Amino acid sequence: MKKVERVHNAVEGKATDHIPFSFWTHMAGYDMDPCQLAEKTYEFFKEYDVDIIKTMSNGMYSVEDFGCTLDQSQVKFGGVTKIASSPIDSFKDWNKIKAQDIHTGALARELQSLKFLLEKTKGDVPIVFTIMSPMTTAEKLTGGAVIDHLLDGHADDVLPALDAITETTCALADEAIKIGASGIFFASQIEFYGRKDEDFCLQFEKPYDLKVIKAASQGWCNILHAHGKEIMFDVLKNYPVQVFNWHIGESLPDPDELLELFPYSIMGGLDRMCVKENKRSQLHSQIYKIIKKSNGKRLIFSPGCVVRLPFNKSAIAYIKNTIHEMESICN
Long-range contact set of residues 233-239: C-beta below 8 Å, sequence gap at least 24: 234/198, 235/191, 235/198, 235/201, 235/202, 235/205, 235/206, 236/188, 236/191, 237/262, 239/209, 239/210, 239/213
pLDDT at 77: 67
Number of domains in the chain: 1
CATH number of the domain to which 151 belongs = 3.20.20.210
Q: Where are the alpha helices (DSSP H) in the chain?
A: 3-12, 34-48, 61-64, 105-121, 134-142, 145-151, 155-179, 198-204, 206-215, 233-236, 255-261, 272-276, 280-294, 313-330
Give the DSSP letter string of 294-306: HTT-SEEEEESS-
CB atoms within 10 A of CB 325: 14
Instruction: Quote the domain boundaries for residue 86.
Output: 3-330
**For 44-60, what is each residue's pLDDT tens digit?**
999 999 999 999 999 99
What is the spatial distance between Cα 40 and Cα 240, in angstroms, rounded to a whole number? 32
**For 163-217, what is each residue's pLDDT tens digit?**
999 999 999 999 999 999 999 999 997 767 777 889 999 999 999 999 999 999 9
What is the spatial distance between Cα 285 and Cα 22, in angstroms, rounded to a whole number? 18
CB atoms within 10 A of CB 91: 20
For the chain, list residues with pLDDT below 50: none
